[in-house]
Each structure stands twice: as structure tokens, then as C-alpha cells.
Structure 1
Amino acid sequence: MPTLLLSLETSSPVCSVALHRVADGTLVGQSELRLEKSHSSHLSVLVNQLLENTLHTLQDVAAVAVSDGPGSYTGLRIGAAAAKGLCYALDIPLLAVSTLQSLAHQVATYTAQPEQYLYCPMLDARRMEVYTALYRHDGAEVLAPTPLVLDETALAEHLAHHSLLFFGSGATKFYPLVANNARAGFLPGIEPSAIAVGALGVAAYQRQEFQNVAYYEPFYLKEVYTTTPKNKAGL
């Protein structure tokens, strides 16, 4: 009987995969690769190597959890395509886990007295914009995922009443704007991980919060705009 949840995290430059036991959430193994634009060529290799190293096969996988976004458009597309392909081939459920919520879970899990803070993951969205949200230590959503232009007034209402921890690829842009605020804490080096995706994915699996494999699309948060090169447009 399949007993494992396979998790894929491709929303950032880090390509990460993990295996958890669906019965109790125990981490079985994890692997990641930190190479720019490596997801399309290395994701399946990481999955196969992880299964081999943990003495398992794809037939042991009961479901696949994928980082749902926001994040890199290309990375999310690659992760979603891989997850859907596995679910189709193995006839197993698909789970989608918020990238921002998994980042917050990742930090809250290792924070002393976690109930004292609100958790604010920030993903770089270019210029002075980030994708962000606010969560309590138990995962409860305080501010829904949103694109946010950073200035001195950003999140001021929340900072007036709570201590906030900021982390993720976009947090460094916010630091100079609120560095003197004692309620604002910054944690460097926090990146999306399949371990956190898997931990939340196990909980979603037990609640049977499955996606429609045929129609699932990642949560991009903002519409993706593309342009046609001039030589292709006849200009």
C-alpha cells in the first residue's frame, strides 16, 4: 500500500523535493539543487534519486504535493506539470500548498515562543514590489496573499500592534524602510523548501483537500504578461 507523500518545490531558484509518511508526517528524505534555471532538466532526476536513496519506488507514493505559488512563473509551471504528470501516471491525488504559507510554517516551526509573532514571507516581484501575506504561528491567515509595493507605510498598521518577522527573497528590500522599528525582525537565508510543503501537504492529505488534476493551475497572484518580439510581429 502506498505510504508516502512526494513534495515538489520549484517556485524559486532552489529546486527541492521531499518525502513524508502520510500517516504521521515523518520526514523520510529530502534533496535540493541550487542552480539557476535547472528545474526542467533536474527535477525528475532529483525525484528518482531521492526514491532510490530512501529505498522506495514511485509505487510507494500515495499523493503528490506541489508548491502552489506565488513565485517564479516558469518554476511554478514546471512543478505543476511534473506533479500532474505523476498523478496521472500513478492515478493518485494532487495537493497544492501555498508557497507563502509554507515559508511561514518553516519559520514558525523553529521560532522560540512562536505565538509572539506574526510571520511575513516576502517573495521578490521586481523593483519595490513583493508577494506577501501574514500568518499566525498556527498557520491562520491574517493578511491574504497580495502583491505589495514597499514604502515606509507598508504594513504600518500591523507593525503598530504586533511584532513581525520578515523573511524570503523580497525581505531585504523592506529592511531599510523599517530598520528602526523595534517590532520588525528580519531573518536572512530563508528559502522555499519541499520539507515545509510536505508538512502542510500531509495535513491537507489527511483532510482530503485534493485538486482536480486535469484543471489545476498554479496560483500566480498576478497576471503574466508576455510580449511578441518585433521580428515576430512583422515590425
Structure 2
Amino acid sequence: MPVILNIDTSTSVCSVALCNDGHCVMHREDYQGRNHATVLSLYIQDALAEAKDKQMPVDAIAVGIGPGSYTGLRIGLSEAKGLAYALKVPLIGVDTLQTLTVGVQFSDFFDPEVLFVPMIDARRMEVFSAVYDYALKPLMPGRPVIVEPGSYDEFLEQGPVIFFGDGADKTRPVLGGHPNANFITEIYPLAQNMMALSERAYRNGDFLDLAYSVPNYLKEFQATTPRKKV
């Protein structure tokens, strides 16, 4: 099985995991959300040192490709590209919404009938979201959603639905009245949860172009100008 260095900086959490043969050899997470660039470099150094100590040459670099924070995604992809180029190994892009979902599926209290709705916070009542079944089949592909009453009724009427991620809590007042709506807020896309996804991509030869790959923002970046104080 391949040795893959997984990276995610798509949200306020910066994480790195060195994985091999279905196991994470090491993983690091920073929940402060203040300086992804500095923290990421240190974590990568730790991972490469671990790989060297265990005589495990890295076969690929995997990075959370989005959606998520514009700045965070750029930092992660830039670092991953440079690392893949330096090590002469392929680069893998992993969907952040799928990584979030895998993290929830590691819990023991969900049955195969549950639908999973990862939510990454965007502006106001908007989230980046998708809907997956237990096999990670997309019933609604990833897209920006302005959450309103009835936004997910099509899925809530089918049975239990889990809303989770850093965008889920703000939607609770709108969606939480439905008896099938359940919420988990303290969960983030972590590099260690990318393992199965990145290994599958490696086996399938699903690699990114080092020169031309860009993050999956799901929407155009909108710069804002601070208002002048009166």
C-alpha cells in the first residue's frame, strides 16, 4: 500500500497525517486557526522526519482541495504542490466535504439508513454542502446553499439526516424543527480522515496536474472593502 502524506487547511483547523496501509503513522492538528502557513510547514517537517525514521518513502501527497476557506485552500495546495514537485511524487486532491463525512462515519451510532450532510461555513446563512448516503454516494453534489426553511426537506422526509461541520450550528434554528434533523457541530475535516479517500485515488491513478490544478472554491471569491468609520 502507498505511503501518503495528507494535508488539510480548508477550515480553521490545520492538519497533517502520514498514512500507510490503512493506518496513520502520525498525525498533527492545530485548532487555533491563526497561522496555517507556519504551522503547516512544521507539521510537514515532522511527517517527513517520521517517514525517514521508519524508512517509509512517501509515494504521494494528498491535499484537501475544497470547498472551504479561500486563504486556507491556497496555502494547502501551494505547499502540497511544492512538496510533490520536490519529492517527485504525484499530487492527489481530496474533496473536503467527503473528508468531513468520513470523520462522522467513524462513529459507531449511525446506521446505513442515515443521510449525511456536511456543512462548511460560508457567509451569513450560506454553507458549502452536499448530501451523501452511507456508501458516500452523492445524492446532492457539493454546492453553495443559502439555507432556508425547506432547503433539505427532500432528504429529511426520507429518514434521519445528520447535519455536521462548522456551518451546521447556524442552520439549527432553520432546520432543527424537523424530527429527522440531527446536528453535530464540533467536527472538522482532518487529514487523518482523508486516508481512505487518498488511497483510493492513488490506486485509481486519480492525480492532479501540478502546474494547473486549482482549489475547488465552489463559488467566485468576493473581496470586501472595510467600511470607513464615521
Q: Deviations over 1:73-113 (max 9, x none)?
A: 00000000001001111111000000001111111132434
Aligned residues: 227
Q: Determine if contact 1:5/1:19 at 8 Å carries over to the other structure.
A: yes
Report SS of the residue matched to 1:100.
helix
Report SS of the residue matched to 1:157.
helix
2:175 maps to 1:185: no
Q: What one-letter code is carried by the residue in structure 2 that aligns with 1:31? A: R
Q: What is the root-mean-square deviation of aligned Cα atoms in Å?
A: 2.1
Map of 1:47-196 to 2, 5 A cutoff?
A: 47-53=44-50, 56=53, 60-196=57-193
Mapped to 2, the partners of 1:229 and 1:175 lie a distance apart of 29
1:188 positional shift: 2.6
2:61 maps to 1:40: no
Report SS of the residue matched to 1:37.
coil
Structure 2, unpaired ranges of 5+: none
Q: Determine if contact 1:105/1:137 at 8 Å carries over to the other structure.
A: no
Aligned match of 2:22: 25
Change (3 A) 1:25 1:115: same
Find runs of 4+ consecutive structure 1 residues off by over 4 angstroms: 227-230
Q: Which stretch has the larger CA shift, 110-119 or 139-148?
A: 110-119
Mapped to 2, the partners of 1:56 and 1:82 lie a distance apart of 22
Mapped to 2, the partners of 1:48 and 1:184 lie a distance apart of 42
2:12 maps to 1:10: no
Report SS of the residue matched to 1:205.
helix
* Aligned mate of 1:201, from 198, 205, 210: 198
Q: Determine if contact 1:20/1:202 at 8 Å carries over to the other structure.
A: no
Report SS of the residue matched to 1:60.
coil
Q: What one-letter code is carried by the residue in structure 2 that aligns with 1:19? A: L
Percentage identity across aligned positions? 39
Q: What one-letter code is carried by the residue in structure 1 that aligns with 2:7? A: L
Q: Determine if contact 2:14/2:33 at 8 Å carries over to the other structure.
A: no
Report SS of the residue matched to 1:97.
strand
Mapped to 2, the partners of 1:38 and 1:58 lie a distance apart of 30
Mapped to 1, the partners of 2:26 and 2:130 lie a distance apart of 29
* TM-score, normalised relative to structure 1: 0.90
Q: What one-letter code is carried by the residue in structure 2 that aligns with 1:86? A: L
Q: What one-letter code is carried by the residue in structure 2 that aligns with 1:6? A: L
* TM-score, normalised relative to structure 2: 0.92
Q: Determine if contact 1:84/1:213 at 8 Å carries over to the other structure.
A: yes
Q: Determine if contact 1:68/1:99 at 8 Å carries over to the other structure.
A: yes
1:114 positional shift: 3.2
Q: Determine if contact 2:3/2:56 at 8 Å carries over to the other structure.
A: no
